[in-house]
Structure 1
């Protein structure tokens, strides 16, 4: 869904890559008809929370897509794949946001790195939920830059 001429809300992110099929945080917190257990009740372990509402934004810069993730519960590679399909653009200028790679297994980090290398982003700015180990592994595959308070990124 286009929000502006250059900014697209990506909607629900389809899951394609098996290595990004890790259970979402908050799994098994949803109860029938409720987002959380009623006060005083324990979560029902048989009712999964699939976070089907995970989404992202894509900005069409002159140099390719800038993909803005939330926490990337659907997986950053799934988000990149979906953004390319929705926007009809293969070039990736930057990926900015949480990458949901906190305490990720070495195998998942390697698979994510290889996948991102194929997407060939000009830059990746990992934010929350991406630990130092993940940034180090990803930096072997794609250009990883630090983020922080006061950082200004201009894609005009």
Structure 2
């Protein structure tokens, strides 16, 4: 499997690569090429071009969840294609989302996106390629990871508290264990890992790349670090919504890797 970060909060110098507050990953698994998330603008397309990645070969976008910083780029990607793209996401990903009366959601609602693309909505795990699975809705199993309220979501014409039930991730099953690719981990990074273990029937967690949504040095962060250590995870690439001071705290006891626009990993 090959993964290249197209959008992250940080970018390396050179090749005219730029960062923004969002996430997008280009992924290859054998003959399948697809995107996980598309950032907040068309920057993922510009960065891909500067990285010599041909997005003309990509017709599928998997969305980790429905927030604007992971979905807004979809309108630019749709406009760049001469036929409908495929989208895979949770059934709530295109529901309207708001926080303090500011839009937090995708650029289209469910009715609009179904006219523009071939959309597969799934709460259940769904095979994306030979070795990669979209995990669907993540169950809450880890005691110290309580879902946090983040604005409101429109359901059946009424706005309700949003605990980001649409937040999901990808599981890559390799010969020697599993890898996990996240968007924001609103579901809890440890909840995601535990569910991935169950779906893969494999407890050997080799690596993680993506947002962890850990933004404070608190009990949850401390217990997450202990969880990573207990699981002997060798390749940790915390990025996007993982705050710098949290990364610094992780680095005290974990060999975390640097993540940025242009980073390529091959697993």
Q: Are residue 18 (structure 1) and residue 104 (structure 2) matched?
A: no
Q: State yes or no: 1:147 paired with 2:262.
A: no
Q: Distance in 2 between matches of 1:60 and 1:10?
A: 12
Matches of 1:57 and 1:31, distance apart in 2 = 26
Partner-residue secondary structure (3-state), 1:20: coil
Q: CA RMSD in A?
A: 1.8
2:120 is the alignment partner of 1:7: no
TM-score, normalised via structure 1 length: 0.82
- Give the number of the structure whose alpha-carbon radius of gyration is greater: 2
CA distance in structure 1 between the aligned counterparts of 2:206 and 2:146, rounded to whole angstroms: 26
1:63 CA drift (Å): 3.2
- Give the Cα separation in 2 of the matches to 1:146 and 1:61: 22
How far the C-alpha of 1:100 sits from its partner, in A, is: 0.6
How many aligned positions are there?
142
SS of residue in 2 equivalent to 1:153: strand
Distance 1:32 1:65 in 2: 35
- Which stretches in structure 1 are left out of the alignment for 5+ residues? 38-43
1:99 corresponds, among 212, 218, 222, to 212
Cα distance in 2 for residues equivalent to 1:132 and 1:77: 20
Residues 70-117 of structure 1 show CA distances to partners (whole Å, capped at 9, x for unaligned) of 100011000010000001111112100000112x24211111111121
Query: 1:6-61: per-residue Cα shift (whole Å, max 9, x none)?
Result: 111111111112321141433xx224424xx8xxxxxx6xx311211111001112
Which runs of no fewer than 5 residues in structure 2 stay unpaired?
1-125
Structure 1 stretches of at least 4 aligned residues deviating more than 3 Å after TM superposition: none
1:122 corresponds to which residue?
Answer: 234
When the two structures are superposed, what TM-score results if normalisation uses the length of structure 2? 0.50
Give the 3 Å change call, closer, same or farther, for CA 24–70 of structure 1 in structure 2.
Answer: farther
Structure with the higher fraction of residues in strand conformation: 2
Distance 1:134 1:22 in 2: 19
Query: What SS class does the counterpart of residue 18 from structure 1 fall into?
Result: coil
